[in-house]
Amino acid sequence: MAAVRTGGCLCGAVRYESTGEPSFSLQCHCRDCQKSSGSAFVAAMRVPASGFRVTHGMPKRFVKGAESGNQVTRLFCGDCGSPIYIQVSSRPDIVGLRVGTLDDPSEFRPEANIFVKSAQPWVHMDPDLPRHDTYPSGKSYTGA
């Protein structure tokens, strides 16, 4: 049986669980992720939507078009504002979990930095991780 990951927002109004192995773990430096997180990048895991469910509360949604032409739905707590996950119109089978919302984020191992064309010059990136100006081709998510 697959491990169950649990998580939620800062105030606890929204909780979720996720089963299934991540298809891609990344640090995204696009401007939309910078603005939505209030930070220099977002740490995210792409997990199967079939194994994801909100177990408590109802997140609010914000939909915005991306450079790629996709519609990106960002889901967050309407009470505390914590960004929780995203879904992209071209890949409804994948959920992009915000790693910081996991109850145990210690398993996160980024595979790459993406959208580094927008990375802030003061951010230190692990030199051992691949860097991609946009989203790397061949990954299971074609997105933001």
Residue 87 lies in a domain: yes
Q: pLDDT, tens digit, for every residue of 99-116? A: 999 999 999 999 999 999
Structural domain boundaries enclosing 43: 4-118
Quickly state the pLDDT bin for 143 (edges 50, 70, 90): very low
pTM of the model: 0.89
93 pLDDT more than 60: yes
| Mean pLDDT computed over 53-69 | 92
CATH number of the domain that 60 lies in? 2.170.150.70
Report if residue 132 sits inside a domain: no
Kindly state whether residue 9 falls inside one of the protein's structural domains: yes
Residue 143 lies in a domain: no
Domain-located, residue 128: no
pLDDT, the chain, mean: 92
Question: Residue 131 falls within a domain, yes or no?
Answer: no
> How much is the pLDDT for 142?
40
What is the structure's pLDDT at 2? 63
CA angle (10 as vertex; 7, 13 as ends), nearest 5: 75
Question: Distance between CA 141 and CA 6 in Å, rounded?
Answer: 22
CB 33 within 8 A of CB 26: no
Which of 101, 91, 117, 124 has the alpha carbon at shortest distance from 45?
A: 101
Identify whether 141 is part of a domain: no
* Res 27: pLDDT: 97
* Number of domain units in the chain: 1
Return the half-sphere exposure (C-beta side, CA atoms, 13 A cut-off) of residue 141: 28
Q: Does 1 have pLDDT greater than 50?
A: no
